[in-house]
Amino acid sequence: MSLLEVKNLEAGYGDVQVLWDVSISVKRGEIACIVGSNGAGKTTLLRTISGLVQPKGGSISFDGEDIGGKTPDHVLGRGIAHVPEGRRLFKGLSVRDNLMLGAYLRSDQDGIAKDLEHVMDVFPILRERQHQDASTLSGGEQQMCAIGRGILSRPALLMIDELSLGLAPRLVDRLGEALIEINKAGLTILLVEQDVMTAFEIATEAFVIETGRTTMSGTTADLGDDPKIREAYMGL
Ligand SMILES: Nc1ncnc2c1ncn2[C@@H]1O[C@H](COP(=O)(O)OP(=O)(O)OP(=O)(O)O)[C@@H](O)[C@H]1O
Ligand SMILES: [Mg+2]
């Protein structure tokens, strides 16, 4: 059974409709990705799943519960963490405090301390920099901190919007390896990525969104061999 099931979703901003007919399904334990051009609606889809944008039609079910239109706190509490496009760390707060913000709905202090240690094991640079202002981190370190903050909410599903944006290829590889490690430890991951090659290296399932509609889906192995995908998204 799917952990996340989005069916025929419609959403937008005011009178502007952005998502027309989006359906995706993410199974427990997998890494899935959403790819598509600029302005296709990928960020809007994640924001609608998170409760930041209200759906106008269709349904979103998570772990058997209909979460469409629920508040962001409710969705986070049910187990969906969202690492936003652009990372959005809090300037003026330390790296550690930014990480701890992810745990604000939790009260299991022992579990939080354990998860903080786990994040710092996966990203040792965050341990070194934990008392620095988060705004002093490099772009890649900020992405690690934003992912760590997501993990601190102890989610069942971690959604990451634009993992590789602005980062050097070697760092993206390193982050990809970290995500695969985190996934093996039991976390389901949904990636949004403009760099299709990178996305297909990390994820096993993929959905293509074009102007607010899901137009293709399948395994990344199959879609990576598809001539249309190779031409339109991989420049091959
Ligand atoms: N707050 C907003 N108000 C009005 N329109 C918006 C808003 N945010 C996004 N849009 C519009 O919705 C459409 C989809 O945007 P969205 O950010 O979801 O695309 P995207 O697939 O994430 O693009 P990118 O790859 O550039 O991040 C765009 O046409 C954009 O201009
Ligand atoms: Mg986007």
DSSP string, 106-131: ---HHHHHHHHHHHHHHSHHHHHTTT
| CA-40 nearest atom, ligand 1 | 21
The domain locations on the chain are 2-79+155-233, 89-153
Residues 162, 153, 130, 189, CA torsion sign: negative
- Side by side, which strands form the sheet with 31-35? 65-66, 55-62, 2-13, 16-27, 213-219, 205-210, 31-35, 188-192, 157-161, 80-83
CA atoms within 13 A on the CB side of 221: 1
What is d(CA 100, CA 151) in angstroms, rounded to the nearest whole number?
10
The pLDDT > 70 percentage for the chain reads 100
Residue 88 pLDDT grade (very low, low, confident, very high; cuts 50, 70, 90): confident
Two tokens, residue 60: 């979103």
For residues 59-75, give the mean pLDDT. 96
Query: What is the structure's pLDDT at 207?
Result: 97
Query: What is the structure's pLDDT at 235?
Result: 80
Residue 40, number of CB atoms within 10 A of its CB: 23
Q: What is the mean pLDDT of the chain?
A: 94
Counting ligand 1 atoms within 8 A of each CB, the residue from 15, 16, 20 with the most, and so the one to mutate, is 16
pLDDT digits (tens, 9 = 90+) for 181-193: 999 989 999 999 9
The binding-site residues of ligand 1, defined as CB within 6 angstroms of any ligand atom, are 13, 16, 18, 36, 38-44, 85, 194
**Residue 77 identity:** G
pLDDT digits (tens, 9 = 90+) for 169-213: 988 998 999 999 999 989 999 999 989 999 999 999 999 999 999
Q: Is the pLDDT of residue 156 over 80?
A: yes
Q: What residues are neighbours of ligand 2 (ion), with CB under 5 Å?
A: 42-43, 85
2-79+155-233: CATH topology: Rossmann fold (3.40.50)
Query: What is the structure's pLDDT at 232?
Result: 87
Q: Is the pLDDT of residue 166 over 90?
A: no
What is d(CA 133, CA 136) in angstroms, rounded to the nearest whole number?
6
Q: Is the pLDDT of residue 117 over 80?
A: yes
Nearest to 203 by CA among 33, 69, 19: 33
Residue 105, number of CB atoms within 10 A of its CB: 11
| CA-37 nearest atom, ligand 1 | 25
What is d(CA 6, CA 213) in angstroms, rounded to the nearest whole number?
12
For residues 121-143, give the mean pLDDT. 94
Nearest to 21 by CA among 55, 72, 53: 55
Two tokens, residue 181: 């490690």
Cα 94 versus chain centre, distance: 23
> Which residues fall within 8 angstroms of residue 189, CB to CB, at 6 or more apart?
30, 31, 32, 157, 158, 159, 160, 179, 182, 183, 203
Tell me how far the alpha carbon of residue 145 lies from the centroid of ligand 1, in angstroms.
Answer: 24
